[in-house]
Copies of this chain bind each other. A is one copy, B any other.
Amino acid sequence: MNRDYRVLIDCRDEKGLVYKISKVFYDFGLNMEKNREYVDAQNGKFFMRSEVRGVFEPDKLSGALRAVLPEGARIRLVEPGKKRIVLMATKENHCLGDILIRHEADELEAEIVGVVSNYDLLRPLVEKFAIPYICVSHEGLSRPEHERRVLEAIESFGPVDYIVLAKYMRILTPEFVACFEERIINIHHSFLPAFIGANPYKQAYDRGVKIIGATAHFVNNNLDEGPIIAQDVLPVTHAMDWEQMRNAGRDVEKVVLAKALKLALEDKIFVYANKTVIFD
């Protein structure tokens, strides 16, 4: 029976990799439906993403690939299908609502298994869609204690592939982030690295910029410094105060976050040297 798989390979670059990999696919009788490669010549790194179809045993394919690849190669075989995601949010509904509407239309390769928020405000919206909502208030709690409870909430939803910070306005500790390496996607409301930190729209207004933006990125240990997945901008004028910039910016935020989420769900992102290689 035909299987569809996404094969993701990254390894040290050397001569003949495309030949060796495509030979394995050919020997297994697989069709390469789509294929993208990238060589980072400066760092001697090779990246490849193939969509293959055929009759095969994934373990054997994986083994055959490993046999021809340089030592230390990372090989991932991913079967297309719905990934399990948890959304986190604070008070604003635009990113959260946007993902809920896409989910409702079955536009995402994902099942939203639950939503966690530090407020109870968004519960009515989320529960309209029959999705579990857990409020973990941060009030009166130390950061580690709050995060411990958030983790418990997430775990209560079962296994999780990605956590999407859909305007979750609290900083996460390295300990929390370490539990979900390269699996937490955040939307920051500026074109990073401009306006790191709190209230970037206010910062943008004060600086008098003519363009504002949004950045979706994986979360790492340093605030707003993780690998960037997607960015977009929109023009602003002197006539807009910072609340107007914030309102206008929401449309960019939600579209950029959804774009990044889709790339992740479709296994189109490699992370390397705090940057992303994206085969869109």
Contact = CB atoms under 8 A, between A and B. Distances in A.
A107 to B, nearest CB: 7
Nearest to A26: B19
A37 B36 CA distance: 7
A23 interface: yes
A93 interface: yes
A211 B238 contact: no
Contact of A94 (B16, B101, B191, B193): B101
Interface size for chain A: under 10, 10 to 19, 20 to 34, or 35 or more residues?
A: 35 or more
A105 B191 CA distance: 25
Contact of A25 (B19, B97, B210, B258): B19
A104 interface: yes
How many subunits of this chain does the assembly comprise? 4
| Chain A interface SS verdict (over half) | mixed
Contacts of A33: 39, 41
A90 to B, nearest CB: 13
Given A194-B191, A208-B227, A237-B278, A18 B39 contact: no
A67 to B, nearest CB: 16
Nearest to A213: B211
Interface string A265-276: 000000001111
Given A42-B241, A233-B233, A258-B251, A35 B34 contact: no
Interface in A64-115: 92-94, 97-98, 100-102, 104-105, 107
15 contacts: A15-B26, A16-B22, A18-B32, A19-B25, A19-B26, A33-B41, A38-B239, A92-B105, A94-B101, A94-B107, A97-B104, A192-B194, A193-B209, A235-B235, A238-B276
